[in-house]
């Protein structure tokens, strides 16, 4: 590390001589044609009276780039070489981190200081000056690197540069001394810990993986923000997950990992869906709470399920308008229990409402099974125990999440349980509720299907003859008739249970198969460094660099589909249970209220007259 910092210091001290378009002494006027020195740039090679065309020494600094006869005029080789020694320092300092920049600077400096001698004609010696395109390559590939070294002033001026040995400006391609690149402009960066490699453009950015620990960049290009705790030569950082070399990924980092605007607009859409679900489930909740016919078994199960789903959907109002207030503790750090109280409250609300929704849907499924399969009303008088289980278990899980300080913002737009605890504290307990409910529901479904098949095979006539042949008192309603009647009455609850279970299973599978990729991304810093290097390159952008990290992110369409599925649960509840009879009952209720008001008013008038 010490040697590296010495090299960087040497570059910073000596880079002033690297700008070869101004630092070298000029040739004497006797060695050059006066017309060449004073004329405007021409789109042809120059013809001068230079007679000092020499072979370049094999031990020179530019030996790997100069394989032609050079025009040096009256300037000695030793003087020209002494002004190129800082190229060696540049190679040692950033040759590993940005080899393309070093290669381009060599190509430009060598062709600029050593013009190429062409054919000798009767008019004089043909000489080819350096190319404008090579100078522009230096600008495009070295700007970020030299800026990070606080030496951007040493970049060449491609419009005013004059070759010191022939006093000529840069020329266009085809009429200049073009030296081909020695380093590929788009090297393949092998990603540690994977069997594949990602091809990223390194034009203009640092290969951060080659920088030593404790190195701090002097400035952070957009969109990165400065690490407030970073100090040169130390490992101090505000966040080891989101900060590297003095620069931090802005929070929320997920928004930058995907293409520009994808997550912002995608999660805005799912938040709107969840807000609509909150409104519609709220309407149903109020309806079942106020209308007298809805406050008895089994409708009261729908009322309580509506309450749980309303709480689950209403959590979105924490994020509507400004999701960063719950996602981020500051410019770069994601929220958790230790740094954002609002995230803690919202996360606890979401955990509680998620389990409450699962428990009350489980109660709905269990009641449907008992009533349909066993023709029993077991749950009618046991609502005290149902409340204890359906509200107590969610409260217990939420308390455990708070005790273990596991609430954290990880992805999407809301805080939930951190990836490290998500299975132990959220999905495994949820599975204990959902999987038995699913099995019970499947048993109910197959029982209904079996009875329906038998109902179709046997006619009511045979049942009637069987009844008439027996001189017994009134018949019992057959079990098959009971099942068909129960399905006709409770098909809405049956459909809601199917949709709810399918939604939970889909989201669970998504989390199991996709969101765990975030753990891989976090545990392998090289993956993030590859993306940062791309973003810091001259032509790097959020859209172009997405490909370097895409294999380690949840697929965007699947993620939005999973979020949409859970966001629609309240809307499904409204569509299924907001039947015509509810609006009729609302009309009747309103008529009764108006009549009651009129009656009380009339009674008051009568009492006044009696006085």
Q: Which domains does the chain have, with CATH numbers?
A: 2-154 (no CATH), 256-461+475-595 (1.20.1070.10)
Contact 357, 309 (CB under 8 A): yes
Alpha carbons within 13 angstroms on the beta-carbon side of residue 296 total 3
Q: Which of 27-36, 172-181, 357-366, 474-483 is least confident? A: 27-36
Rounded to 5 degrees, φ, ψ at 161 are -65, 135
| pLDDT at site 1 | 40
Q: Once rounded to an integer, what is the mean pLDDT over residues 381-391? A: 92
Indicate whether 14 pLDDT > 50: no
User: CA 401, 308, 513 angle in degrees (round to 5)?
Assistant: 55
Q: Which of 269-273, 284-288, 513-517 is least confident? A: 513-517
| pLDDT at site 51 | 52
Indicate whether 281 pLDDT > 60: yes
User: What token pair was written down for 227?
Assistant: 């690490």
In 3-state terms, what secondary structure has residue 24? coil
User: CA 553, 186, 246 angle in degrees (round to 5)?
Assistant: 60
In 3-state terms, what secondary structure has residue 210? helix
Indicate whether 111 pLDDT > 90: yes
Place of tokens 């190509």: 107
Q: Which of 48-62, 183-197, 233-247, 527-541 is least confident? A: 183-197
Q: Once rounded to an integer, what is the mean pLDDT over residues 501-519? A: 83
| pLDDT at site 193 | 35
Q: Distance from first CA to last CA of the chain, Å, rounded?
A: 102
Indicate whether 150 pLDDT > 90: no
Q: Where is mean pLDDT largest: 150-159, 372-381, 478-487, 548-557?
A: 548-557
- Helix residue ranges per DSSP H, 149-259: 254-257
User: How sure is the predictor about 34, in pLDDT bands with cuts at 50, 70 and 90?
Assistant: very low
User: What token pair was written down for 448?
Assistant: 């209904």
Q: Once rounded to an integer, what is the mean pLDDT over residues 127-138? A: 93
| pLDDT at site 75 | 83
User: How sure is the predictor about 2, in pLDDT bands with cuts at 50, 70 and 90?
Assistant: very low
Look at 298 and 224; give whichever has higher pLDDT: 224
User: CA 543, 258, 199 angle in degrees (round to 5)?
Assistant: 55
Q: Which of 105-109, 183-187, 316-320 is least confident? A: 183-187
Q: Which of 51-60, 443-452, 497-506 is least confident? A: 443-452
| pLDDT at site 475 | 47
User: How sure is the predictor about 337, in pLDDT bands with cuts at 50, 70 and 90?
Assistant: very high
pTM of this structure: 0.69
Indicate whether 286 pLDDT > 50: yes
User: CA 544, 192, 94 angle in degrees (round to 5)?
Assistant: 70
Q: Which of 28-42, 171-185, 262-276 is least confident? A: 28-42
Average of per-residue pLDDT values in the chain: 79
DSSP 407: E
Indicate whether 601 pLDDT > 70: no
In 3-state terms, what secondary structure has residue 590? helix
Q: How many CB atoms lie within 10 A of CB 171?
A: 24
Indicate whether 451 pLDDT > 50: yes
| pLDDT at site 595 | 85
pLDDT tens digits for 50-60?
Answer: 457 889 998 99
Q: Which of 101-115, 408-422, 580-594 is least confident? A: 580-594
Length of the chain, in residues: 611
What residues form DSSP beta bridges with 130?
177
Q: Is residue 252 reached through a cis peptide bond, with omega within 30 degrees of 0 on the bond before it?
A: yes
| pLDDT at site 414 | 93
| pLDDT at site 48 | 54
| pLDDT at site 92 | 80
Indicate whether 306 pLDDT > 90: yes
| pLDDT at site 179 | 92
pLDDT tens digits for 396-425?
Answer: 999 999 999 999 998 888 999 998 898 899
| pLDDT at site 465 | 53
DSSP 425: I
| pLDDT at site 572 | 93
Q: Checking phi first, is residue 19 left (phi over 0); if not, alpha (psi -120 to 50) or beta?
A: beta
CA-to-CA distance for 598 and 258, rounded, in angstroms? 62
| pLDDT at site 501 | 81
pLDDT tens digits for 38-93?
Answer: 233 333 455 555 457 889 998 999 999 999 999 887 788 888 898 888 888 888 87
Q: Once rounded to an integer, what is the mean pLDDT over residues 450-463? A: 60
Cβ-based neighbours of 190, under 8 Å, separated by 6 or more: 197
- Helix residue ranges per DSSP H, 337-478: 341-373, 383-403, 422, 428-457, 460-468
């Amino acid at each position: 590390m010490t040697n590296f910092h010495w090299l960087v210091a040497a570059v910073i001290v000596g880079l002033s001589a690297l700008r070869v378009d101004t630092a070298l002494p000029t040739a004497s006027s006797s060695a050059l044609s006066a017309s060449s020195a004073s004329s405007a740039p021409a789109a042809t090679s120059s013809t001068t009276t230079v007679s000092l065309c020499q072979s370049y020494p094999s031990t020179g600094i530019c030996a790997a780039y100069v394989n032609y006869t050079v025009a040096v005029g009256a300037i000695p080789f030793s003087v020209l070489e002494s002004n190129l020694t800082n190229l060696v320092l540049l190679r040692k300092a950033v040759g590993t981190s940005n080899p393309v920049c070093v290669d381009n600077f060599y190509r430009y400096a060598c062709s600029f200081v050593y013009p190429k001698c062409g054919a000798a004609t009767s008019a004089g010696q043909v000489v080819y000056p350096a190319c404008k395109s090579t100078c522009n390559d230096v600008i495009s590939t070295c700007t970020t690197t030299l800026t990070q070294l606080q030496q951007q002033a040493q970049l060449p001026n491609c419009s005013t540069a004059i070759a010191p040995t022939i006093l000529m400006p840069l020329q266009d391609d085809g009429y200049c001394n073009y030296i081909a690149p020695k380093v590929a402009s788009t090297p393949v960066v092998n990603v540690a810990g994977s069997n594949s490699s990602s091809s990223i453009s390194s034009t203009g950015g640092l290969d951060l993986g080659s920088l030593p620990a404790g190195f701090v960049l002097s400035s952070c290009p957009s969109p990165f923000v400065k690490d407030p705790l970073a100090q040169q030569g130390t490992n101090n950082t505000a966040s080891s997950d989101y900060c590297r070399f003095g620069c931090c990924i802005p929070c929320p980092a997920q928004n930058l990992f995907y293409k520009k605007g994808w997550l912002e607009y995608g999660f805005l859409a799912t938040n709107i869906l969840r807000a609509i679900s909150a409104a519609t489930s709220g309407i149903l909740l109020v309806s079942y709470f106020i209308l007298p016919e809805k406050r008895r078994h089994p409708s009261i199960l729908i009322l309580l399920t509506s309450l749980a789903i309303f709480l689950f959907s209403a959590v979105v109002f924490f994020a509507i308008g400004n999701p960063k207030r719950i996602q981020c503790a500051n410019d770069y750090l994601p929220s958790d229990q230790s740094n954002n109280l609002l995230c803690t409250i919202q996360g606890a609300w979401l955990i509680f409402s998620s389990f409450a929704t699962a428990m009350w849907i489980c109660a709905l499924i269990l009641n449907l099974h008992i009533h349909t399969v066993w023709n029993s009303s077991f749950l009618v008088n046991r609502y005290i125990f149902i409340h204890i289980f359906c509200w107590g278990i969610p409260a217990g899980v939420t308390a455990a999440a708070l005790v273990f300080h596991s609430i954290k913002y990880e992805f999407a737009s809301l805080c939930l349980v951190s990836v490290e605890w998500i299975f132990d504290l959220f999905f495994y307990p949820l599975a204990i509720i959902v999987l038995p409910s699913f099995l019970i529901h499947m048993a109910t479904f197959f029982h209904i299907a079996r009875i329906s098949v038998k109902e179709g095979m046997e006619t009511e006539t045979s049942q009637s003859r069987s009844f008439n042949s027996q001189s017994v008192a009134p018949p019992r309603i057959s079990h098959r008739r009971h099942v068909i009647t129960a399905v006709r009455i409770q098909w809405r609850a049956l459909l809601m249970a199917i949709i709810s279970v399918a939604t939970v299973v889909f989201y669970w599978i998504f989390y199991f198969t996709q969101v765990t990729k975030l753990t891989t991304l976090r545990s392998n810093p090289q993956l993030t460094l590859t993306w940062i290097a791309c973003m810091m390159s001259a032509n790097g952008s959020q859209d172009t660099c997405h490909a370097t990290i895409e294999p380690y992110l949840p697929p965007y369409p699947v993620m939005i589909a999973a979020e949409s599925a859970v966001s629609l649960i309240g809307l499904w509840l409204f569509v299924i249970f907001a039947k015509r009879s509810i609006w009729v009952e609302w009309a009747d209720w309103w008529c009764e209220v108006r009549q009651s008001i009129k009656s009380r008013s009339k009674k008051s008038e009568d009492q006044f007259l009696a006085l």
